[in-house]
Amino acid sequence: MMIVVIGLLGALLVGVSVLYLWWTYVRVLALRQDIYDKRDELFDVALKLGRLDDPAYRRTRDVLNVMAMSAKHISPYFMMSVARSSRRFSSGRPVSADPRMDREIEIALRWLSERILRYLLKECVSGWLIGELVGAGSVQEEGMPAVTRACSALWPVDRLPSDPRDPERDLLCAA
């Protein structure tokens, strides 16, 4: 009887481990796809408005690309590292000369902050633990400015953090 119980517990542990590994893979794919979808929406708006060469649009697109490429590294530690560096690098959010494009950029940046916060708090085990220990409501209210600050820290980056020539690469991609 004891061997059967140990066998069942072992099988349960293996099953939960496989399920967790699968979940971590799927959640990253879902986050990437959501970011790419938002980037494509922003492209459609920029194309419609004739603002594809707008520096604000290009920087926003670059940040969306960086966040999508860095999706597997996004964790509370990653966001804290980027937020800490934001004082050094941040020059504010990009502003377009066209108010319609500027509004769309603002919507995209707000969406990105909310999506990453949802990813951190609801789709990561560490977020579940933080939510249980501190309280999900207060974490969400206090977390949004930190996530927004962390995302906006990437604005002034002219090269993607994955560029090996970029001296800030390790700081921005720390996991």
Q: What is the pLDDT of residue 163?
A: 40
Q: 42 is written with which tokens?
A: 């922003």
Nearby residues of 21 by Cβ (< 8 Å), 6 or more positions away? none
Nearby residues of 36 by Cβ (< 8 Å), 6 or more positions away? 64, 68
pTM of the model: 0.69
Quote the CA–CA distance of 95 and 136 in Å, as a whole number. 32
Residue predicted with more confidence, 66 or 136:
66
- In the predicted structure, residue 155 carries a pLDDT above the cut 50: no
Q: What is the pLDDT of residue 161?
A: 40
- Site of tokens 């517990």: 9
Closest by Cα among 63, 107, 70 to 86: 63
Give the domain ranges of the chain.
Answer: 25-172
Angle at which helices 2-49 and 99-122 cross, to 10°: 180
Per-residue confidence band for 32, with pLDDT thresholds at 50, 70 and 90: very high
Mean pLDDT value across residues 1-28: 89
Closest by Cα among 92, 94, 83 to 150: 83
The predicted-structure confidence for 79-118, as pLDDT tens digits, reads as follows: 777 666 655 545 567 788 889 999 999 899 889 888 888 8
In order, the DSSP letters of 125-163 are HHHHHHIIIIIHHHHHHHHHHHHHHHHHTTTT-SS-TT-
What is the largest distance, in Å, between two alpha-carbon atoms of the chain? 74
Closest by Cα among 29, 84, 67, 24 to 162: 67
